[in-house]
Structure 1
Amino acid sequence: MNSVILIPARYQSSRYPGKPLVDLKGVGGAPKPLIQRSVEAARRVQGVSGVFVVTDDERIADACKGFGVGVIMTSPECRNGTERCAEALASLHDPDLVINFQGDALLTPPGFVEALIDRMRDDSDAMVATPALRLRSNDVRALQAEEQAGRVGGTSVVIDDQDHALYFSKRLIPHLPGGTLGGEMSPVRLHVGVYAYRPQALDRYVATPVSELETLEGLEQLRFLVAGIPVAVVDVATPPFALRELNNPEDVAPIEQALVEAGLE
């Protein structure tokens, strides 16, 4: 399969403007911008034919030239990374799969993406695939505390018996009756924001209007469900380090610690 990784990156993040260019230190203490670390993470994935950054900002494009990754420029009118990937299709050579590798998901293990490619290869009917991992009960309790404090701690997903997503939410789902968190592992699946799309799924995505649910949750993947496109959910193993994303300035120190724990320069 001709699989291409695209890394959507925008400068004007509402919570952290300019975050793709924020420097982060790893094991050796050398600073690298977030976008470079995300490219390095994407390049560790086996079985892909190329990695490109997709952006509408010349500052990000200029930074990418410094470490030798291809850039596809897209319109500033793109509302999310999936729309940016859809627009970038015209610049690609007929890929079988497009992988949306989040620009702030620098700690995503390569095996997560390889599992998506395997699922799409084995299931010719699958149009979209995304990974999720089971949360330990202690992690769920921490997220419950985040919710009670009015903060969003992650996105959860519930699935059907065909491993297709029923719903994604920034609230913890499903409901957890008393005693549910008595064991080490919980029933809660944390969604990992990486996607594998077939090109026709992206075409249908941009042809589908934004729904009220997508707006309320702030989750772009809900548009696939509204459009009637099944989203295959691939269970992946919980890594030994925290899968943190850079959303706010206070995330820098924990991410740098996770980079060290993961042994990344």
Structure 2
Amino acid sequence: MQAAIIIPARFESTRFPGKPLARIKGATAIERPLISRTVDVARAVGAQCGVLVATDDPRIAEIASAAGVQTAIISEMCLNGTERCAAAVREVALDAEIIVNLQGDAPLTPPYAVARLIAEMAADPAVMVATPMVRCAPETVARLRADEAAGRVGATTVVADGAGDALYFSKRILPHGGGGAECPIFLHLGLYAYRRRALEHYAAVDPTPLEQAEGLEQLRFLDEGIRVRMVEIEEPAGGLWEINNPWDIPYVEHALGLRGIA
């Protein structure tokens, strides 16, 4: 089944302006732009997936082009990464049944996570959107609680039903008081696979109150009655933190070092 990976990378991030250009150290202490490291993840998925960087800034596009991937300059009017993916599909007339949204601030995304989402959708034609979750280890739960106590907002958690479809996403810890053996906490990884018609529907409707209240784009799908399939993946060494704020960089650099990624 034909699939394409789009990396939305916005310069004007509210919490971290210029984030895609931030220099990130790997295992060899060599600094490279964040967008370059995310492109590496996409290319590691395999030659069967095309890769495109959708951005609002020519400096980001220049780095992506130097890395050998296609780019599209997208309007600053897009509200989130999903809308940028839809705009990129239109901009370059992308012909793919499955569109993967690999967020530009997620260089710790394991390539196998992308492959599993594509496989889930290929196996079940009823799945319109798929996204991964990770069962939190005790140390991850401790960090989430520490961030919440300090007023730091970043990671997203999710609860799902018995069929594996999402019930709700939040930047607060879900479920409240969870984390025991019988009620685990799942961290949501900001990676999505959409069927083309689901992505087009998303872009055609207005933002919803829940989406705006939580600041989470995926809630628009739930409000529109489009189920979101959760695919559980293993947490790799160093965790799966995204770079939402400057203080996330040391965690990501530590994980890159643990994995031996230069």
Q: What's the CA shift for 1:140?
A: 1.6
Q: What's the CA shift for 1:79?
A: 0.6
Larger deviation, residues 127-136 vs 89-98: 89-98
Amino acid at match of 2:32: K
Structure 2 runs not aligned, ≥5 long:
none
Matching of residues 78-93 of structure 1 within 5 Å = 78-90=78-90, 91-93=92-94
Q: Deviations over 1:77-135 (max 9, x none)?
A: 10100000011112144201000001010010111111101100000011000000111
The equivalent of 1:158 in structure 2 is 159
The equivalent of 1:239 in structure 2 is 236
Aligned-partner SS, 2:13: coil
Amino acid at match of 1:263: G
The equivalent of 2:3 in structure 1 is 3
Q: 1:54–1:72: 8 Å Cα contact kept in structure 2?
A: yes
Separation in structure 2 between the aligned mates of residue 114 and residue 65 of structure 1, nearest angstrom: 24
Matching of residues 25-174 of structure 1 within 5 Å = 25-46=25-46, 48-90=48-90, 91-174=92-175
Q: 1:3–1:97: 8 Å Cα contact kept in structure 2?
A: yes
Q: Deviations over 1:19-38 (max 9, x none)?
A: 11111121222221100000
The equivalent of 1:213 in structure 2 is 210
| CA-atom RMSD in angstroms | 1.6
Aligned-partner SS, 2:32: strand
The equivalent of 2:258 in structure 1 is 261
Q: 1:147–1:153: 8 Å Cα contact kept in structure 2?
A: no
Q: What's the CA shift for 1:245?
A: 1.6
Aligned-partner SS, 2:24: strand
Separation in structure 2 between the aligned mates of residue 92 and residue 51 of structure 1, nearest angstrom: 14
Q: What's the CA shift for 1:248?
A: 2.1
Separation in structure 2 between the aligned mates of residue 94 and residue 66 of structure 1, nearest angstrom: 23
Larger deviation, residues 240-249 vs 203-212: 240-249
Separation in structure 1 between the aligned mates of residue 12 and residue 165 of structure 2, nearest angstrom: 33
Q: Deviations over 1:169-212 (max 9, x none)?
A: 111111326xx63x5x8511110000000110011101222111
Separation in structure 2 between the aligned mates of residue 78 and residue 200 of structure 1, nearest angstrom: 18
Separation in structure 2 between the aligned mates of residue 175 and residue 29 of structure 1, nearest angstrom: 39
Separation in structure 2 between the aligned mates of residue 88 and residue 194 of structure 1, nearest angstrom: 17
Q: Percent same amino acid among aligned pairs?
A: 48
- Give the TM-score of the pair, scaled to structure 1: 0.93
The equivalent of 1:19 in structure 2 is 19
Alignment: residue pair count: 261
Aligned-partner SS, 1:126: coil
Q: What's the CA shift for 1:67?
A: 2.2
- Give the TM-score of the pair, scaled to structure 2: 0.94
The 3 A distance-change label for structure 1 pair 141 and 80 is same
Aligned-partner SS, 1:197: strand
Aligned-partner SS, 1:75: coil
Amino acid at match of 2:19: K
Q: What's the CA shift for 1:139?
A: 2.1
Separation in structure 2 between the aligned mates of residue 93 and residue 210 of structure 1, nearest angstrom: 24
Q: Deviations over 1:124-168 (max 9, x none)?
A: 011000000111233223312221221224111111111110110
Aligned-partner SS, 2:192: strand
Q: 2:39–2:64: 8 Å Cα contact kept in structure 1?
A: no
Q: What's the CA shift for 1:240?
A: 2.1
Separation in structure 1 between the aligned mates of residue 48 and residue 31 of structure 2, nearest angstrom: 27
Structure 1 runs not aligned, ≥5 long:
none
Amino acid at match of 1:241: G
